[in-house]
Amino acid sequence: MKLPTLPFTVTDWSAVEPTTHPGETGEALWRTVMMGDVRIRMVEYTPGYLADHWCDRGHVLLVLEGELDTELKDGRTFRLTPGSSYQVSDFGDAAHRSSTATGAKLFIVD
């Protein structure tokens, strides 16, 4: 990931229009800002959310609220709580998907 040359920028996330992404169950609401090829998102998962796909994209993800369960395709699972993060690259064998019983709010850069 390489941030392009840009001026100092402040984002008011409440002013960024959300888009809805249905999961296998529940929904993800994304507020997205693009900076060159870098996608920066504030994401909210509704209670009961389960991703409808395995993701191979690299991310830096920080949990702001709620609990997030991340399952790797190899069967390992990780529970993240507010203040915890994960980092995964575009390369390797770390295909993953997210779910939450209670709902979660995340900050993601990819």
Domain residue limits, the chain? 18-109
The counts of H helices and E strands in the chain are: 0, 10
- Over residues 26-51, the mean pLDDT reads 96
Task: Return the pLDDT at 31.
Answer: 98
Mean pLDDT of the chain: 94
17: exposed, middle or buried (Cβ count in 10 Å: 0-12, 13-18, 19+): exposed
pTM: 0.91
Please give the C-alpha separations between residue 58 and each of 13, 26, 38, 40, 92, in angstroms, as whole numbers: 22, 23, 11, 12, 10
Instruction: For tokens 């939450």, name the residue.
Output: 100
Please write the tens of the pLDDT for every residue from 75-98: 999 999 999 999 998 877 789 999
Please write the tens of the pLDDT for every residue from 8-35: 999 999 999 999 999 999 999 999 999 9
**Fold category of 18-109 in CATH:** Jelly Rolls (2.60.120)
Sheet with 85-88, strands from edge to edge, namely 19-22, 27-35, 38-45, 104-109, 59-66, 85-88
d(CA 12, CA 94): 32
Please give the C-alpha separations between residue 85 and each of 6, 26, 70, in angstroms, as whole numbers: 26, 22, 11
